[in-house]
Structure 1
Amino acid sequence: MNQKILFNEGWKFAKSSLDVSESRNLKFTPVDLPHDWLINNTLDLYENSIGWYRKTFSYSKKEEEVLLYFDGVYFNSSLYVNQQFIGEWKSGYSSFEHEITDALVEGDNEILVKVVHESPNSRWYSGAGIYRNVWLKTRDENHIKTDGIYITTKETKSGWEVEVDTELNMNQVVKLSHTIMYQGETITTSSEKIEQLNSLNQQTLIVVEPLLWSTEKPNLYQLVTNLEVELTDESGKKELKKIELISQNIGFKTVFLNPNNGFYLNGNRMKLNGVCEHHDLGALGAAFNTAALRRRLIILKEMGVNAIRTAHNVPAVELMDLADEMGLLIVSEVFDMWERPKTKYDFSRFFKEWAHSEVKSWVLRDRNHPSLLMWSIGNEIYDTHADERGQELTKMLMDYVLQFDPNRNAVVTIGSNYMPWENAQKCADLVKVAGYNYAEKYYQKHHEEHPDWVIYGSETSSVVQSRGIYHFPFEQSILADDDEQCSSLGNSLQVGGQNHQKLAL
């Protein structure tokens, strides 16, 4: 049976300077995953260092593929198994996997993950380390490809069509079944016998009058996918053996964006009362914790929030799951920079080579979530303002998204503070759904000039303040915060980046 099991236990950690090339002489101590090593020293939250994670586990060789799947490692990570280099992943936010089958031996096996943190690499607190979950995957040669189930729902006169496209790796005849369930009861089912190797299978199920998913009533159904392989015994009798079972939430909703009238969910006009959320959890650092995130989302819902922009990176998959469950619309964002850097060691160093892999991981993993509303390909991207290359990259990233979400489960957008300028407007004209950062005064003018654009406020206010710190007079911006304390955004040139508090807001 193909399996995916949590692999967070039994790791040890060591830290070194950037000039250390191997872990042999380092002192390793037990560590709990998820883990953020930067938060342990609040006096140096942006230190340059390498984190080394080591784990030994016992394995008995079988006829199966073995993979390590990482929900997120920040960042620039390399994987070694039994001193063999397996692969690397440059991004700090997207999920990725490495197949380790050929490097494994009978008995004990050593896993080593090297994580390089060079600062500055971000405009906010990033954390560092294996800060999201790790999984061990074992699978038969016959399997459903990772994130290979693509679900699209569409309302028709006869009911809701649920199209399920499944990417299969197979070397023999299989049976693929899909069942839609609600609160433990079967609503409908579909199955096919598949003989063509390495097939892309499409099945359509019909659901009549389902309960709709909304921010007020987030009704969730489950799609259960079952893969069985056809075996023949010695007598020639054929039987089916179950080899993989995947269950995921689905929801039924309609989304309509109108340049003049705004946003409609299930035919009802509504406002997006959104917040931009960074991935850290305050004093807990970047190490992911489901209970802490749930607490945060409950507080936000009580505030009246119904939408979240994942500022400015791929979120934890648990955030998407909780948003499905709690009724929060998600503007999922992938990049804070493209080819032009914002800090010396940020992802721009790897963008040309790794952008496609990043978008692929991002879209494949999250394209089925009912909470998904928009794919944001970037935040305040200077490339879009600088020259025509920005338009080329905008079109490239749009194509990447549509390669993996061709049915457009979400619309492509961008969040920008460069909208007053021509090149950025040309990029916005490509996506047509334009997020404005701190540029409310241009809404009406740009709506008149571009009546086919959907314009929304992707970022409209910010708060930066230290508890108990009050610098007066408020109207007079101080020149620097030598004590690293700030009473408010706009009260400091260093923090707010503006000459006056009104301009900062």
Structure 2
Amino acid sequence: MIKKLFNDGWKFSKQKLDTPPEMLDQDGIEWLDIDLPHDWLIYDTNNLYEASEGWYKKTFVPESIGDKVISIRFEGVYMDSTVFVNGKKAGEWKYGYSTFEFDITEHLVPGENEIKVRVVYRSPNSRWYSGAGIYRNVWLIATEPAHFVSDGIYISAKKGAEGWKVEVDAEIIDESDKYGDVAGENQDAVVRHTIIDADGNVTAVCEQKAALRHDTVVDSQVLTVGDPRLWSLEDPYLYKLKSELIVEGQVKDTVLQNFGFRTLRFDCNEGFFLNDVHVKLHGTCEHHDLGALGAAMNKTALRRQITMLKEMGVNSIRTSHNMPAVELMDLADEMGVLIVSEAFDMWERSKTEYDYARFFNEWCERDVASWVRRDRNHPSIIMWSIGNEIYDTHADERGLEITKMLRDLVKKHDPKQNGYVTIGSNYMRWDNAQRCMEEVEV
């Protein structure tokens, strides 16, 4: 896999709502040169909630067109976005906080290509400053037709009687039926996993044959590590898992990701335990923006923010009230901070006129999958919060149905409980809300 940051060399134009796409091709349209991440609202501090559309465009020449699967990955676009490649719609995504990825191979042509992204910001849509635009990183990804599925490698490290077992479930697929030679169907491959410590030493290796198909296949393996160095708040030690897909002796795809060895335990009488050591959570609720910098992600500013929080005694962060940036999860792993990752501030019942409630029923399943699959391997994750102060939980019985549905969706993508399902509620005096709380794990 070749994964390249795709942030530089974009152009941006702010337009009125419901601007026809063909208008953007006319002469006289002002296009500003920008780099991503970008938040267009922060530039006018006298009008931070102006309803408008943002249009982004970029031209590029793919390096490997013809023999690769080319995808574009957006870590966050706020909100209601549509992606066009060479004038054709490649996909749309509604929620502003979840990561999404589109296969754009069929839309590409030899030579120069153009990507346009339409972002629709209607106000009010939040109870805080959201920002607007492509405010997190964008990646261009090229893979062989035989490859690991995006966010499809699931790591679960469990302590046993004789050391630690690292269970790895890896989703693989062969898309040669769509792109190139169809001879790949049913061919044998080898999936190899290698655990590497922070000094670059190989700790464990396993591999086995796996049959490639044109549909997703899950390859499951177990590695054993006798006495690993644990991830903790005081010593956030990280290992790497290197996963390789080998076909006919050639490595077709490689994925490298961090993980850690730690245990979690919640006790209703005694509290929370990390690695069997009692830990009192000293937490804050942190929104995604960076103050005067707006919503555009800046890892240096975020590191400074977390450093200050740790200096004041914070050891845990709740990502109020939405899915966090990749950088937050990476820094939490690196700096030793526990994360309560939150998905939604509303379900079907809205809190503002144009919030996510208008998309919830159609999109929540995809958003939960994106959220959990992307972040489930982080050692910093301890809880998945399916909602904050959700009106639905105390309004009627429908709230209980949605609670069960969201809980089950989280557990579908994190069945080995790298994090525990919870919900943030201050409506506990209502019977319906209490019944919803009884359905989650913490």
TM-score w.r.t. the length of structure 1 is 0.83
Kindly report which structure 2 residues correspond to 1:370-389, keeping only aligned pairs within 5 A, or say none: 370-389=379-398
Q: 2:39·2:132 contact (CA, 8 Å) conserved in 1?
A: yes
Q: For residue 107 of structure 1, give the secondary structure of its aligned residue in structure 2.
A: coil
Paired positions, count: 423
Given candidates 254, 261, 273, the residue that maps to 1:264 is 273
Kindly report which structure 2 residues correspond to 1:384-399, keeping only aligned pairs within 5 A, or say none: 384-399=393-408
Deviations 1:279-336 (A, max 9, x none): 0001100000010000111111111111000000000011101100100000000000
The reply on whether 1:181 has 2:196 as its aligned counterpart is yes
Structure 1 residue 19, shift from structure 2 partner: 3.3
Amino acid at match of 2:413: F
Structure 1 residue 376, shift from structure 2 partner: 0.1
1:196–1:246 CA distance, 2 compared to 1 (3 A) = closer
Kindly report which structure 2 residues correspond to 1:191-270, keeping only aligned pairs within 5 A, or say none: 191-197=207-213, 198-230=216-248, 240-270=249-279
Task: Provide the residue aligned with 2:32 in structure 1.
Answer: 29
Kindly report which structure 2 residues correspond to 1:93-132, keeping only aligned pairs within 5 A, or say none: 93-132=97-136
Structure 1 residue 247, shift from structure 2 partner: 1.2
Q: 2:73·2:140 contact (CA, 8 Å) conserved in 1?
A: yes
Identity %: 56
Given candidates 38, 45, 49, the residue that maps to 1:46 is 49
The reply on whether 1:425 has 2:428 as its aligned counterpart is no
Task: Provide the residue aligned with 2:425 in structure 1.
Answer: 416
Task: Provide the residue aligned with 2:177 in structure 1.
Answer: none
Task: Provide the residue aligned with 1:447 in structure 2.
Answer: none
The 2-side partners of 1:352 and 1:194 are apart by 37
Structure 1 residue 257, shift from structure 2 partner: 0.5
1:196–1:36 CA distance, 2 compared to 1 (3 A) = closer
Q: 2:397·2:432 contact (CA, 8 Å) conserved in 1?
A: yes
Kindly report which structure 2 residues correspond to 1:94-493, keeping only aligned pairs within 5 A, or say none: 94-170=98-174, 171=184, 172-182=187-197, 183-197=199-213, 198-230=216-248, 240-433=249-442
The 2-side partners of 1:128 and 1:256 are apart by 38
The 2-side partners of 1:194 and 1:19 are apart by 49
Q: 2:189·2:212 contact (CA, 8 Å) conserved in 1?
A: no
Q: For residue 314 of structure 1, give the secondary structure of its aligned residue in structure 2.
A: coil
The 2-side partners of 1:331 and 1:153 are apart by 19
The 2-side partners of 1:97 and 1:335 are apart by 20
Gaps of 5+ in 2: 175-183
Task: Provide the residue aligned with 2:2 in structure 1.
Answer: 3
The 2-side partners of 1:77 and 1:380 are apart by 26
The 2-side partners of 1:195 and 1:217 are apart by 40
Q: Which runs of 4+ in 1 moved over 2 A?
A: 170-173, 195-199
Q: For residue 208 of structure 2, give the secondary structure of its aligned residue in structure 1.
A: strand
Q: For residue 59 of structure 1, give the secondary structure of its aligned residue in structure 2.
A: coil
Larger Rg: 1
Structure 1 residue 30, shift from structure 2 partner: 0.5
Q: For residue 14 of structure 1, give the secondary structure of its aligned residue in structure 2.
A: strand
The reply on whether 1:55 has 2:70 as its aligned counterpart is no
Q: For residue 407 of structure 1, give the secondary structure of its aligned residue in structure 2.
A: coil
The 2-side partners of 1:173 and 1:410 are apart by 34
Q: For residue 34 of structure 1, give the secondary structure of its aligned residue in structure 2.
A: coil
The 2-side partners of 1:3 and 1:19 are apart by 36
Structure 1 residue 157, shift from structure 2 partner: 1.0
Q: For residue 119 of structure 2, give the secondary structure of its aligned residue in structure 1.
A: strand
Q: For residue 431 of structure 1, give the secondary structure of its aligned residue in structure 2.
A: coil
The 1-side partners of 2:368 and 2:408 are apart by 10
Structure 1 residue 99, shift from structure 2 partner: 1.0
The 2-side partners of 1:176 and 1:59 are apart by 28
Structure 1 residue 195, shift from structure 2 partner: 2.7
The 1-side partners of 2:334 and 2:105 are apart by 36
The 2-side partners of 1:27 and 1:376 are apart by 42
Amino acid at match of 1:389: R
The reply on whether 1:67 has 2:67 as its aligned counterpart is no
Q: For residue 306 of structure 2, give the secondary structure of its aligned residue in structure 1.
A: helix
The 1-side partners of 2:189 and 2:8 are apart by 35
Structure 1 residue 216, shift from structure 2 partner: 1.1
Structure 1 residue 432, shift from structure 2 partner: 4.2
* Higher relative contact order, chain-length normalized (CA < 8 Å, sep 6+): 2
